[in-house]
A and B are shown apart, each in its own frame.
Chain A
Amino acid sequence: MTTRQIVRSLEPTQDNLLAILHRVQNDSTRNFLDEPEIREVADYLELPYSFVYGVATFYSMFSVQPRGRHVVRVCASPPCHLMGGRTIRDELREYLGVEFGDTTEDGLFTLEMSSCLGTCGIAPAMMIDGEIYGNLDGVRLREIIDRKRREEP
């Protein structure tokens, strides 16, 4: 589907803004919203470009910079923190070889910090793309990342 078709897959009402942005970003191989896409959405909903751009930069789920194919979000809220989240964050940084906010050289992963993912019962937790992974420890974490790597063509 073209960007235009994705944008037009929902009614042009302004309360559909977030939903449309999600659909457009999900279609992006680099997990971000580029300028033509934001313009397309804004024109469709008759909103100023500045407004849609502002929204896209406000919500941490969106990015206006190219990201990796997979976005790894590690929870940094207190319950996860207490269950060893700090170590998980350090290990991820080390294993992926990037700082928070950065993308691995092969363009596969972008590492981000997140607030509570709503899955404190399985703390410490992280989310890769749409999927939650809980009860993390160093070993499990490496397995998950390795599996993602292997899935790549």
Chain B
Amino acid sequence: MDARDVSLTINGVGVKVPEGTTILQAARTAGYEVPSLCFHPDLKPNGTCGMCVVEIEGVGVRRSCCTPIGEGMRVQTNTPRVMDTRRTLIELILADHAADCPICDKHGKCDLQRIGQDLGIREIRMPAKEGYSRRSDGGIVLRDPNKCILCNRCVSVCTEVQGVANLTRIGRGYHTKIGTAFDLTIEDSVCVNCGQCVVYCPVGALSSRDDTREVRRALADSRKHVVVQEAPAIRAALGEEFGLPPGTVVSGRMHAALRKLGFDRVFDTNFAADVCILEEGTEVVERIVSGSPDLPVITSCSPGWIKFMETFYPGLRRLVSSAKSPQQMFGALAKTYYPREAGLDPAEIVSVSVMPCTAKKFEADRPEMRSSGFKDVDFVLTTRELARMIKESGIRFEDLEEAPADELMGSYTGAATIFGATGGVMEAALRTAYHLVTGGELENVDILPVRGMEGVKEAVVPLPLPDGGTLELKVAVAHGLGNARRILDRIQAQLAATGKSDYHFVEIMACPGGCVGGGGQPFGSTLGTREERGSGLYGEDRSLRSRKSHENPAVQRLYETFLGSPCSEKAHHLLHTGYGQRERVHGRSVD
């Protein structure tokens, strides 16, 4: 039903917006940027910062992010009173803020810095607190409480969007801080390392572990042979760091930049994503066709989701596909298959990955991820870290000539590239499952119902069976762990009631939007930006000659010369894994 339109004036200009719109949204519609710190369009407004104040005639100064419009309202966004209020508030925030911008991770992308500049703050009249101590703890998600402006965005995304509820406000008044239950370090908490708090933090109070130095050292070491893989989602977002619009696909320039940085082989995670589809697709088909009680099969490529599952839904772990994520499949092959083909000693190889994801750092460090006999993935860089390395090396990204990845472990199909968007793994798997079951090929490979930004997507996909019948495959896709909870609770309830769930195959990605929305991606995104990144990947999929994983010649070669067949013993040893159970305060393994 259409909401009623309401008329009001913003700075004297008449606008008509749907009832229930906030003044902030209305002002932005009318073309006025109202500064905001605690407000983020993807999150519920909480009204903590006051930066968005406006003056309403006959009412007074109000916070526009959490004040709904009213018929005939006359709003001024820029009166002297409004500007003074904003200035005072930002001075108060800055009075208790360790403003060391040049060495801050958010420099140039920081809302506080930008607003301070826009308002022309040149002096802080309030005495600053003395003696800031540095970062409070280690781990993958790093906090710097001296920069926290208590906007609550991290708490909101961790609790309402991710359903992890690891973060909370501790204490009250001046001593309030952001922390975890029982004030554990983030490293010791149930944090799943999704990094959403990092990308939603408007300032530099949250950041992620930087591993660029270790990678630089390996690149500079002539005894090391350094190979790199890049996740599907990198190519649709890396360009943003160089001024390109979100969703611009820069695969060619990304490969070229990595070569310039000195990597000995530039491969592509997409190759491993195709492998992953053969492994996981085979597992799905086997379980479904054999009528296994372990249904649905739930995807396993998102390490944030895996830690979440081990902590909050360990009872469902038998349903999760044993296939490792593409990153780890690649890592295992980079130190077995690759050195065998290239005549190298696996001990010389350093395997680096570029991921849109902070949880991938955790995954690579998991003790079981050593099936090659070495650490399968030595270092994980985020998209932001790669961009920094490119800038630091003075490589002019915009001038790079497009280049392909090295073929052996770098060729990929469209099925692999859509892994980076929510629904992509499901779609890619269905394209190959069809082939595995029928021996034929799906004519129209675009499986639209599983695409898009809807939090939980469900579809029934008809799958012709060898015996002439048709299986109505019931699938579901969830992105963002809060959405995942909805579908997992349903499955749990079904299992508890009848011992059986009516879903066959479920895709779960920890981050809203899928990997394109990962915690390692460029700052400043919204769900809208993430959707654009996803569209970029669907565009690349359409442009590729081959769009089904089983048609990838490099993958076929891998099976012919090395692995045998999907889910063979060797494939099991290198490309599959198992899951544990974690305790609900510390997130530590308990078995």
Interface residues of A (CB under 8 A from B): 35, 38-39, 48-54, 57-60, 64
CA distance A64 to B585 in the complex (A): 16
With known contacts A35-B585, A39-B585, A50–B171 Cβ distance under 8 A: no
Closest to A52 in B: B181
B170 close to A54 (CB less than 8 A): yes
CA distance A38 to B181 in the complex (A): 10
A32 to chain B, nearest CB (A): 13
Interface string of B159-186 (1 = CB under 8 A from A): 1000001111111100000001111000
CA distance A49 to B168 in the complex (A): 9
Closest to B171 in A: A57
Kindly list chain B residues whose C-beta atoms are within 8 Å of the C-beta of A57: 170-172
A35 close to B165 (CB less than 8 A): no
CA distance A49 to B183 in the complex (A): 11
Kindly list chain B residues whose C-beta atoms are within 8 Å of the C-beta of A50: 159, 165-168, 180-181
Closest to A43 in B: B584
- Where chain A touches its partner, the secondary structure class is helix
CA distance A14 to B191 in the complex (A): 24
CA distance A54 to B171 in the complex (A): 7
Identify 20 residue pairs between A and B in the complex whose beta-carbon atoms are under 8 Å apart, listed by A's number.
Answer: A35-B182, A38-B182, A48-B181, A49-B181, A49-B182, A50-B159, A50-B166, A50-B180, A51-B165, A52-B181, A53-B170, A53-B181, A53-B182, A54-B168, A54-B169, A58-B169, A58-B172, A59-B172, A60-B172, A64-B182
Kindly list chain A residues whose C-beta atoms are within 8 Å of the C-beta of B168: 48, 50-51, 53-54
Kindly list chain A residues whose C-beta atoms are within 8 Å of the C-beta of B166: 50
B182 close to A48 (CB less than 8 A): no
Kindly list chain B residues whose C-beta atoms are within 8 Å of the C-beta of A64: 182
B585 close to A49 (CB less than 8 A): yes
Closest to A49 in B: B181
CA distance A48 to B162 in the complex (A): 13
CA distance A118 to B112 in the complex (A): 40
CA distance A139 to B159 in the complex (A): 52
Closest to A54 in B: B168
Closest to B166 in A: A50
Kindly list chain A residues whose C-beta atoms are within 8 Å of the C-beta of B584: 49
Q: Which 4 A-B pairs have the closest CB atoms?
A: A48-B165, A54-B168, A49-B181, A50-B168
CA distance A45 to B169 in the complex (A): 19
Closest to A55 in B: B168
B171 close to A58 (CB less than 8 A): yes
**In the complex, how many residue pairs between chain A and chain B have their CB atoms under 8 Å apart?**
42
CB-CB contacts below 8 Å: B566-591 with A: 584-585
CA distance A57 to B170 in the complex (A): 6
CA distance A59 to B165 in the complex (A): 20
CA distance A61 to B296 in the complex (A): 48
A101 to chain B, nearest CB (A): 11
Kindly list chain A residues whose C-beta atoms are within 8 Å of the C-beta of B172: 57-60
A59 to chain B, nearest CB (A): 8
Closest to A58 in B: B172
Kindly list chain B residues whose C-beta atoms are within 8 Å of the C-beta of A53: 168, 170, 181-183
Closest to B180 in A: A50
CA distance A38 to B170 in the complex (A): 14
Closest to A59 in B: B172
Kindly list chain A residues whose C-beta atoms are within 8 Å of the C-beta of B170: 53-54, 57
A114 to chain B, nearest CB (A): 13
Closest to B584 in A: A49
A48 close to B159 (CB less than 8 A): yes
CA distance A30 to B541 in the complex (A): 64
CA distance A39 to B166 in the complex (A): 14
Kindly list chain A residues whose C-beta atoms are within 8 Å of the C-beta of B167: 50
CA distance A20 to B553 in the complex (A): 64
CA distance A81 to B182 in the complex (A): 35
B188 to chain A, nearest CB (A): 13
Interface centre among B159, B165, B180, B181, by most chain A C-beta atoms within 10 angstroms, is B181
Closest to A48 in B: B165
Closest to A60 in B: B172
CA distance A38 to B584 in the complex (A): 13
Kindly list chain B residues whose C-beta atoms are within 8 Å of the C-beta of A35: 182, 585
CA distance A52 to B170 in the complex (A): 10
Given A49-B182, A58-B169: 13 more A-B contacts, CB < 8 Å: A38-B182, A39-B585, A48-B168, A48-B181, A49-B585, A50-B159, A50-B168, A50-B181, A53-B182, A54-B168, A54-B169, A57-B171, A59-B172
Closest to B176 in A: A58
B22 to chain A, nearest CB (A): 26
Interface centre among A35, A39, A52, A53, by most chain B C-beta atoms within 10 angstroms, is A53
CA distance A35 to B182 in the complex (A): 7
CA distance A111 to B579 in the complex (A): 49
CA distance A64 to B182 in the complex (A): 8
CB-CB contacts below 8 Å: B394-413 with A: none
CB-CB contacts below 8 Å: B130-177 with A: 159, 165-172
Kindly list chain A residues whose C-beta atoms are within 8 Å of the C-beta of B169: 54, 58
A112 to chain B, nearest CB (A): 13
Kindly list chain B residues whose C-beta atoms are within 8 Å of the C-beta of A38: 181-182
Kindly list chain B residues whose C-beta atoms are within 8 Å of the C-beta of A60: 172
CA distance A39 to B180 in the complex (A): 13
Kindly list chain A residues whose C-beta atoms are within 8 Å of the C-beta of B180: 50
CA distance A58 to B169 in the complex (A): 8
CA distance A43 to B168 in the complex (A): 17
Interface centre among A38, A49, A51, A59, by most chain B C-beta atoms within 10 angstroms, is A49
CB-CB contacts below 8 Å: B465-488 with A: none
CA distance A59 to B180 in the complex (A): 17
Kindly list chain B residues whose C-beta atoms are within 8 Å of the C-beta of A58: 169, 171-172
CB-CB contacts below 8 Å: B433-454 with A: none
CA distance A109 to B182 in the complex (A): 24
Interface string of B177-211 (1 = CB under 8 A from A): 00011110000000000000000000000000000
B164 to chain A, nearest CB (A): 8
Interface centre among A50, A59, A64, by most chain B C-beta atoms within 10 angstroms, is A50
A113 to chain B, nearest CB (A): 12
CA distance A105 to B558 in the complex (A): 71
Closest to A34 in B: B182
CA distance A38 to B585 in the complex (A): 11
